[in-house]
Amino acid sequence: MTIDPDSFRSVLGRFASGITVITALDAEGRDVGMTVSAFSSVSLDPPLVQVCIDRAASMFDALQHAERFGVNVLADEQEALSRRFAAVDSSHRFDGIGYSRGDNGVVLLDDALCHLECRMVSRYEAGDHMLFVAEVECASARDARPLLYYRGGYAQLER
């Protein structure tokens, strides 16, 4: 028995996830970035993470060739950034926002909950997506609440 895509999306929508903005440099050295919720840790030793990207995504080609990328885990007050980096028009995503550059040159967004600077180690075919696995070379965090995605919308953690 195979589940249909709408049912699958509805069921998985009940899994709350954090929101990240993945950043990299494209082949011409331009900044690219997109909102991603399909992100998770893989291993502690070595420190590995994975991100899963749709082949039709705006920065798929850049990640396909990138040696390094950044992960910006968004804080609860950064919903506008998440929406900006999820928008179809990717031409002005970095205009007018605060950021610095990590040691590997990728954008690290100001006020993110945490940053990870990653070195690509593997790529795996995964249906209509590709799974990118990377080793974390540098990481930093601050105390704040995370921005979450749940049942097709943004949510905040209540404690």
Q: What domains sit in the chain, N to C, each tagged with a CATH number?
A: 17-150 (2.30.110.10)
The owner of tokens 């704040």 is 144
For residues 153 and 68, give the distance between their C-alpha atoms in angstroms, rounded to a whole number: 30
| pTM (2 d.p.) | 0.92
Q: pLDDT (tens digit, 9 = 90+) per residue, 23-62?
A: 999 999 999 999 999 999 999 999 999 999 999 998 999 9
Cβ atoms within 10 Å of 96's Cβ, excluding its own: 6
pLDDT exceeds 80 at position 158: no
In order of 24, 26, 60, 128, 134, the CA distances from 41 in angstroms are 19, 24, 20, 21, 10
Q: pLDDT (tens digit, 9 = 90+) per residue, 77-111?
A: 999 999 999 998 878 899 999 999 999 999 999 99
Number of residues assigned to the chain: 159
Q: How many CA atoms lie within 13 A of 74 on its CB side?
A: 28
CA torsion angle 14 15 16 21 (round to 10): -120
Structure tokens at 89: 């028009």
- pLDDT value, residue 116: 98
Residue 58 and residue 34 in contact, taking contact as beta carbons nearer than 8 Å: yes
- pLDDT value, residue 10: 83
- pLDDT value, residue 120: 98
Q: Name the percent of the chain lying above pLDDT 70.
A: 99
